Amino acid sequence: MLEFIGLLLLFMIVASIVAIETRDLLAAVISLTAVGFGVIIAFFYMRAPDVAVVPIVVEVLVLVILIRSTLRVGLKTFIGNRDLFGMIVTVAMLAVVFLAGIRVFSFFPTFGEPVITRIPDAPSRIYLENGLKDTGAANIVTAVLLDYRGYDTLGEATVLFTAVMGAIAVIRKKARKKPSEPEVPEWGE
């Protein structure tokens, strides 16, 4: 008898197989959104509301961007798999890695007993005890993210900045064949 998380994971696996295998690009994108909502329900079940609020809005933006990429192309273009020999080799290697993975995961602690219950002076326990006193924030996750581990947030801001600069640099290419049809407006508008 599987727990609730097991059922959610099965739902996510089925939805992801549908998203990969279907011929219709619109159905694939909608299945991807279904996977995202399964992830959100899993986050809420595991008592992480601060983490669960973010994918709710991120899913909508990913949906809009992916549908934008399929607009002029046509939603029913079907391009198949790679050659059959490559596919069989890939599936065989993934099966071997998965069986090795099952053996590794049997050494993990049981689901439901994180580090805090077993080691008395883990960093998370210190953050939970002294969070309100040291930083004054009631939301311990925000206190960890912006006070105890502020460097990671600085790194995240840098990575997001770089990814968006990369996207802008790729789109803004100005060398076009037809100078009479400018592609994006000038930067100052």
Partner 1 sequence: MLYALCFLFFAVGLYGVLVKRNLIKIIISLTIMESAVNVFIVMVCYRKDAIAPILDKTIESQEFLAHAADPLPQALVLTAIVIGLGVTAMTVAIAMRLYERYGTYDIQEIKRLKG
Partner 2 sequence: MANKGMTPIVKVISDWVKSFIMLFGIYIVLFGHLTPGGGFAGGVIIAMVYVLITLAHGKEEALRRMRMGVAAELDSVGALMFLIIALLGVSAGFGGRFFANYIHRLNPGKEFSLFSAGTIPLYNIAIALKVATSLFLVFILLVLLKVIHGPEGEA
Its sign, for the CA torsion 27, 32, 35, 36, is negative
Q: Is 130 in the site for partner 1 (CB under 8 A)?
A: no
Q: 136: left (phi > 0), else alpha (psi -120 to 50), else beta?
A: left
Largest CA distance in the chain: 70
Q: Can residue 123 be called a binding residue for partner 1 (CB under 8 A)?
A: yes
Token pair of 151, please? 């460097």
d(CA 142, CA 51): 10
In degrees, rounded to 5, the angle at the alpha carbon of residue 67 between the alpha carbons of residues 24 and 10 is: 60
135 touches, from partner 1, partner 2, none (C-beta below 5 to 8 Å by class): partner 2
For 23, which DSSP code?
S
Residues in the chain: 189
- Residue 105 within binding range of partner 1, rule CB under 8 A: yes
Under the binding rule (CB under 8 A), the answer on residue 57 touching partner 2 is: yes
Lay out the site mask for partner 2 across 117-136 (x = CB under 8 A, - = otherwise).
---------------x-xxx
Taking the least distance from each CB to partner 1, the nearer of 102 and 121 is: 102
Q: Which stretch binds partner 2 (CB under 8 A): 26-34, 46-54, 76-84, 110-118?
A: 46-54
Residue ranges that bind partner 2, judged by CB under 8 A = 49-50, 52-54, 57-58, 60-61, 64-65, 68, 71-73, 132, 134-139, 141-143, 145-147, 150-151, 153-154, 157, 160-161, 164, 167-168, 171-173, 175, 177, 181, 183-185, 187-189
